[in-house]
Chains A and B, each alone.
Chain A
Amino acid sequence: MLATAIQPGLVIDGFTIGECVHSGGMATLWNVTHPDIAAPLLMKIPRVSEGEDPAAIVSFEMEQMILPRLKGVHVPAFFGAGDFARQAYVVIDVIPGRTLYRRLPDLPLPYEEARVLGVKIASALAELHRQNVIHHDVKPSSIMFRDSGEAVLIDYGLSFHNQLPDLLQEEFRVPYGTAPYMAPERLVGVRDDPRSDLFALGVLLYFFTTGVRPFGETETLSGMRRRLWRDPHPPRKLRPDYPLWLQEMVLRCLEIEPMHRYPTASQLAFDLAHPDQVKLTARAERIRRDSWLTVWRRRLNASQLRLERKVDVAAQLAASPIVAVAIDTVEGTDQLNDALRLTAARILSTLPSARLACINVLKLGRITIDRTLDEQGHNKHVDRLVALKHWATPLRLDESRLTVHVLEAIDPAAAILDFARANHVDHIIIGAHGGSFVRSLLGNVSAKVASEAPCTVTVVRPRAVAEGAAAEEGNRQAGAAAN
């Protein structure tokens, strides 16, 4: 086709070709300009000449289908596409900087730096999965960062969209992708499980914190198939100072069975953002791989991975929400707190993969200098955490499903909203404010949260309280009449 004739100055559908900035095996990348678009643009042109890998064509078609549908800061912005009838291309915005691939010489990275990278990448994956897309090629060279800090996932040539035909369905007899990062279920033909991306991110985190790829660099199918039964060396074996929380998270991402990994990228991002709250299991302290007996059993049963069909991306995300409940441990009445617990219990009981974040706002004064200790010398922050845990005890939730957070803020509603945004909260449960004079002066926290939240909000109002307020209102009117 025309790909070889592309040169600076050529105009395609209004896009003027500039400098060639990358020439890869599957595509070339060119800077382009368009009179109506101010943003710096990049044109990706697939290599489709005679004898080229047909994968290049299919990958390009997939990207052409998926890119125009994607939205948000974690994906390239789409500006146009041309098809094979004339000149195949897609135009996206230029993401400044380099891919994470450039960091390879710096490995292993400090744990904290890797954790922060992990939060960003998991957040980007959460956003992508919410748009019904599984990336399927998460690796350092597919990840970039905006100036504002957010991770951007690029290259959708191997991706799967839950609501579009999968053009790669029958295209390749062997699984196609980047061998070191490929999830075990991909090797048996599964393409519709978003937890495959969490496996790849686990490989990346393992690699970035140990300097070693957990499954080596093997490219052969038989070498890759080993990961269907053979677990990697625990990071603590390689680095004795490896944090327990980090090993817990990394090994959970690398579980062979998708159902044993994090249910969603949001939940992984949540744990990475709150490492002190991660529930440590036997994974955290392991220094040896599984025994040969375990491995052998798994090897005999390896074909069963295929049986766990079929995953619906959207349904799986919907079944594994992060629920945040805002508890007022100071002014909230027992009745309201009980009602909040009942509501939370109802929601959690139907969703075994859901997790609950209990949040409390420690309100700071606008002018006064706040002390962390109260008059009796107790640490207010710790007291609140204790109170939150006490509130949650009757729910009898497994520790891995429960976290507690005390937010210090001047504006409680803003603090709750910020928490929800930063932590991919899917559902906020909050108590309705009472009708008291003091509360109306403070402003209506639940109303503000309900109107501005990025997710569903349930406002809980115990019936008796409502009747009490009505009665109070009645009394007030009666009093006015008496006067």
Chain B
Amino acid sequence: MLLALFSDIHANRQAFSACLETARARGAERFIFLGDFVGYGGDPEWTVETAIRLIADGAVAVRGNHDQAIGTPSETMNAEAQAAIEWTRDRLSAGQRRFLAELPFALEEEDRLYVHSEASQPARWRYVQGAPDAARSMIATKAHVTFCGHIHKPTLYSMSATAKMTSFVPVMGVPINLLRGRQWLAVLGSVGQPRDRNPAAAFALYDTATREITFCRVPYDVEAAAQRIRDVGLPLWLAERLFQGR
């Protein structure tokens, strides 16, 4: 089965739509959402509504720290993120807020683990910033491959049977066979707020039969997404950074 994995959509309707369309065109049969549906972007209602509909059709989702902050305000967020959360909270219906609050921290499916931040302590929202963080996550799970997001920069880590690590910045569109002899941690780029200096929306495809992961980038209407952020009165930097991919 071909899975399409989305992380950190952040209420960016234009990016989310573009990725959905591309994933469907490439034959995706099931959607996996790795959290952070909201925050930063200007279209939280549409984004959450679309996710709820896709989940009713068989998609699965886990909770991100921004999703959690809607119901449980976080003290560690910066001012801009905090402002977006406050604004988002008022836009969402009670049902939508409940949907976000009830998302699980992690989900296991066959030999795969889905989690927003990393596997060792999903509720602590730690970033995977390098091989040691990745190793901590992989040691904490038996899953052959863990899919996560949170840091908005795509990286693929592996750990051999003798605990040797590799890290790799994936090349767009090149399938990589996740060999069975080692564990893998696929950190996905962000759909709605890329931070790897490439403004194109990021998602990944994973073929469960061949164990091949393909990191994808999709150009989308950044101008429209940025304009929406400005129109609703969110901090201007949240619009500006979309153009820069940072």
Contact = CB atoms under 8 A, between A and B. Distances in A.
Interface in B165-186: 165-168, 171, 174, 176-177, 179-182
A169 B164 CA distance: 9
Contacts of A85: 180-181
B179 A65 contact: yes
A273 interface: no
A165 B181 contact: no
Interface residues of A, number: 20
Interface string A53-87: 01001100100110010000000000000011100
Interface string B18-61: 00000000000000000000000000000000000000000000
B161 interface: yes
**Closest 3 interchain pairs by CB?**
A165-B168, A84-B181, A163-B171
B166 A170 contact: yes
A119 B3 CA distance: 46
B93 interface: no
Contacts of B166: 165-167, 169-170
Given A57-B161, A171-B160, A166 B181 contact: no
Interface of B: 131, 156, 158, 160-162, 164-168, 171, 174, 176-177, 179-182
B191 to A, nearest CB: 23
8 contacts: A64-B177, A65-B179, A83-B180, A164-B174, A165-B158, A165-B168, A166-B168, A170-B166
What's the dominant secondary structure at chain A's contact region? loop
Nearest to A68: B177
Nearest to A166: B166
B169 to A, nearest CB: 10
B160 A164 contact: no
B180 A54 contact: no
A83 B165 contact: no
B181 A83 contact: yes
A61 B176 contact: no
A61 B165 contact: no
A68 B180 CA distance: 16
B164 A61 contact: no
A61 B179 contact: yes
B212 to A, nearest CB: 10
A175 to B, nearest CB: 15
